[in-house]
Chains A and B, each alone.
Chain A
Amino acid sequence: MTAAAATATKPSAADVGMGERIQAAIERALQRNIKGLEYFASPAPVMGTTPKDLIHSRGTLNLYHYRPLSDEIYRVPLLFVMATTNKGYIFDLAPGQSLVEYLLKQGYDVYVIDWNAPRADEKHLSLETYVLDFIPECVSRVQEESGEEDVTIVGYCMGGVLSVMYAAAHADGPIRNLACFTTPIDWEHMTMFRRWSDRRYFEVDRLVDTLGNIPAELIFTSFEMLRPATRIAGQVQLWENMWNDDFVKSYRMFDRWSTDPLPLAGEYFRQTIKELMWENKLLKGALTLNGTRIDMANIKVPVFHAVAQHDHIVPYDASKPLIASVGAEDKKEIVLKGGHVSVVAGPNAVKRLWPALDQWLGERSV
């Protein structure tokens, strides 16, 4: 072979690059098929495995105490209040991806209020029940269990709304700090939900009177409708990444959680629509629960609010007024990259929210 012929047959760098990519694509396609079969044959991932004890339960209410993972803990216990629309295992997805586990390892004493689906006979549960009965009852149990008077409350989404209401109604304590994640305060800015529940067309009384509790399917559909193409795009993304075990594991955990919403107690739903969505009473300071006016200016304890830059469920404009409305001098808002869920769980949360929360809480938990 002459030198000229050898040069002519030698593949160029571009050809080599393309060849490698084709080879990688074929390998991934094979892996996709093999792992795709495994995906359908394997059971759903187990979540919420950090050791815990159920210390109190009443109907829809569950109070868990997580077992300490540190030899020395902060004085003030943390009480998480989960959103009423979803299960609390978003705080405890898997080892290494669990906010609860992270906080336990950092030396916190962690309690979580998680919700069961309300039973048919719990359709009468109201905002008053959650704010003036369930949360105070759990705070008392935490005080009893920990032997500490002070309790820090951490609320997520609607759990944050309930926590804010509780803090405003109990200005004299025993709350030590209030931390909220993506908590809607100005319901005028819950754009799509507000549009769909337009009082001219949305017959909330008829819906609640007919159904009793609001079915989980209705909650799920309303969340899905906010971004109708995202589920399909997610499934395409899953197929493309089927070769990647970490991606598949993470996808399955989030998918399971997001497709596992809870029904809402009828009366609670009716009040949420009328008092918050239609009248925006929390922001206006016009909300009254059992004769107690819920005024956020009464909240004088330190307040932390983490909001998500790309939150399509609770837009930033809806959550922004919390810090401005509370009467606390020690208050902090952090705006984090991510969405409504990825701000609290997943790789972004591990890097962003969790260390920020630990730093803020640590200084205020002694």
Chain B
Amino acid sequence: MAQQQSTPDPAAAFRELVSQWEKGINEFASRTMNSDEFSQAMNKATTASTTMQQQLGELIGRYLMTLNLPSRSEMMNIAERLQAIETSIHRVGAQLERLAGATAGGGPGGGPPRTKRPPSTGQSGGTS
């Protein structure tokens, strides 16, 4: 037993190595990122990136317009309208189902009886 324990396990050593590496990198990153300098640099980069993204989007939008093609935002608007129509259809369908359920004797409060008690009270139920 003692001999088995002392036998080196390369897989366990590898796991330990990965775990230590992960811990070390995460701690180092946390220290680095938890500083004013990092926060300032990150936010500058975010602002620059969003500004560039916006300008690029506008440029591509103008280009697509000259080609008489819809832009991504226009396609998204169409998709949103379709989604809104789907939602309305679903709402109407759900209302019809509820009406049908009410006519058939279902409706609010249908389903299994709401009489279950917690197992400790020992009065009823007790699936747990």
Contact = CB atoms under 8 A, between A and B. Distances in A.
B120 interface: yes
The size class of the interface chain A forms with chain B is: 35 or more
Interface string B15-47: 100110110111001100111101110111011
A332 B69 CA distance: 59
Given A192-B34, A201-B39, A233-B22, A75 B108 contact: no
Given A72-B113, A198-B43, 10 more contacts: A13-B4, A72-B124, A107-B116, A121-B80, A144-B108, A146-B109, A148-B114, A233-B18, A236-B18, A240-B11
Contact of A73 (B10, B35, B73, B116): B116
27 contacts: A14-B6, A18-B7, A21-B10, A21-B11, A56-B91, A57-B91, A59-B84, A72-B113, A72-B115, A72-B116, A73-B111, A74-B116, A105-B127, A106-B127, A119-B80, A119-B83, A146-B109, A146-B114, A147-B109, A195-B35, A195-B38, A195-B39, A198-B36, A227-B29, A232-B22, A233-B19, A363-B120
B86 to A, nearest CB: 9
Contacts of A146: 108-109, 114
A358 interface: yes
B47 A206 contact: yes
Contacts of A109: 111, 114
B63 to A, nearest CB: 20
A202 B120 CA distance: 53
B39 A107 contact: no
B90 A196 contact: no
B117 interface: yes
B33 A195 contact: yes
B70 interface: no
A211 B128 contact: no
Contacts of A147: 108-110
A145 interface: yes
B87 A206 contact: no
Contacts of A211: 50, 53-54
Nearest to A75: B114
Q: How would you classify the secondary structure of chain B's contact residues: helix, strand, loop or mixed?
A: helix
A13 B124 CA distance: 59
A25 B33 contact: no
A210 B50 CA distance: 7
Given A148-B109, A201-B43, A72 B125 contact: yes
Interface of A: 12-14, 17-18, 21, 25, 54-59, 68, 70-75, 105-107, 109, 119-121, 144-148, 191-192, 195-196, 198, 200-203, 206-207, 210-211, 218, 225-230, 232-233, 236-237, 240, 358-359, 362-363, 365-366
A363 B30 CA distance: 43
A200 B30 CA distance: 20
Contact of B30 (A105, A192, A206): A192
Given A203-B43, A230-B22, A107 B29 contact: no
Contacts of B90: 54, 57
A313 to B, nearest CB: 13
Interface in B68-124: 73, 76-77, 80, 83-84, 87, 90-91, 94, 108-121, 124
Contacts of A71: 112
A207 B115 CA distance: 52
Interface string B40-62: 10111011001101100000000
A93 B117 CA distance: 27
A111 B39 CA distance: 40
Contacts of B30: 192, 226
